[in-house]
Structure formats: structure tokens, C-alpha cells
A = this chain, B = another copy of it.
Amino acid sequence: MKVTVSRRETFNAAHRLHNPIWDAEKNAQVFGLCNNPNYHGHNYVLVVKVSGEIDPDTGYVIDIKYLKDLIREFVTDRFDHRNLNLDIEEFKHLNPTAENIAVVIWNILKEKLDPKFDLKIELYETERNFVEYSGK
């Protein structure tokens, strides 16, 4: 009897899409406006989905307050009001596309969570563009 518990958090960050092995022309052609050297930004919406059995004593799969604190400490407090390319270690050598941000967040949280849980990340870059990753 597996139930999935989800928590929605947000962070507001600047970023730029860029591949340093390509020249400026190729970067502009592939990434278009997202390659602006002065950066642009987003209100990212993050949904963290944790699946597991219900604990009969609490009626919880996971204490959502614990999950919220985990997300804030290890993800949103680190990423919020930051420049992903310049301020966040994980994107020093990794292009901060929505896909890569989702994988990075999955890796961060997977390590902090009890391995009995399944984990899935949804990340909304805008109202119209979003990605999902579940480690498979």
C-alpha cells in the first residue's frame, strides 16, 4: 500500500545556458535568448514526491514538515536568490538547464532520504515548461 507524498517549494534564481566548449556563435544558435551573457532568471517551482508505506502510528508516509525542512536546508535555501552558474557549486561545470537542475536536486535529496523511499522531482521553469526525473 504505497502512497506518494508531495511538497511544493519555490526558489528564484538567475541562470544562463552556455556550453564552454562551443564558440559564441554556436552557443547563440543553440541556446538563443537563454545564452544572454548577462543572465536572465526564473521563479522555479519545485515539487518533491516521496513514495512509501504509511506508518500505522502516525498515518504519515513521511512527516511533511521534515521533508519541507530537508528541501529548504539542502536545496531552496542554497539556490534561492542566487545565480545558478556563478553561485552554485554543482553548476560550475554543468549547464543549468531545467533537466540538469532536476537531476542535481534528485541527487542531493536522494542521499538525505531513507533509502526505503522512492523519490521523484518535478521542476517548473515557467508555467509552460517543466521537467520530471525519478532516477531511472
Contacts and interface: CB of A to CB of B under 8 A. Distances in A.
A94 B36 contact: no
A12 B126 CA distance: 8
Contact of A33 (B19, B61, B80, B97): B80
Given A31-B58, A49-B132, A54-B100, 8 more contacts: A5-B98, A33-B81, A36-B81, A36-B87, A38-B83, A39-B41, A42-B42, A59-B96
A81 B79 CA distance: 19
Interface string A46-64: 0001000010011111011
A65 to B, nearest CB: 7
Q: How many copies does the complex hold?
A: 6
Interface residues of A, number: 63
A80 to B, nearest CB: 7
Interface in A75-119: 80-83, 86-87, 94-100, 102-103
A8 B40 contact: no
Given A99-B5, A103-B1, A126-B12, A40 B82 contact: yes
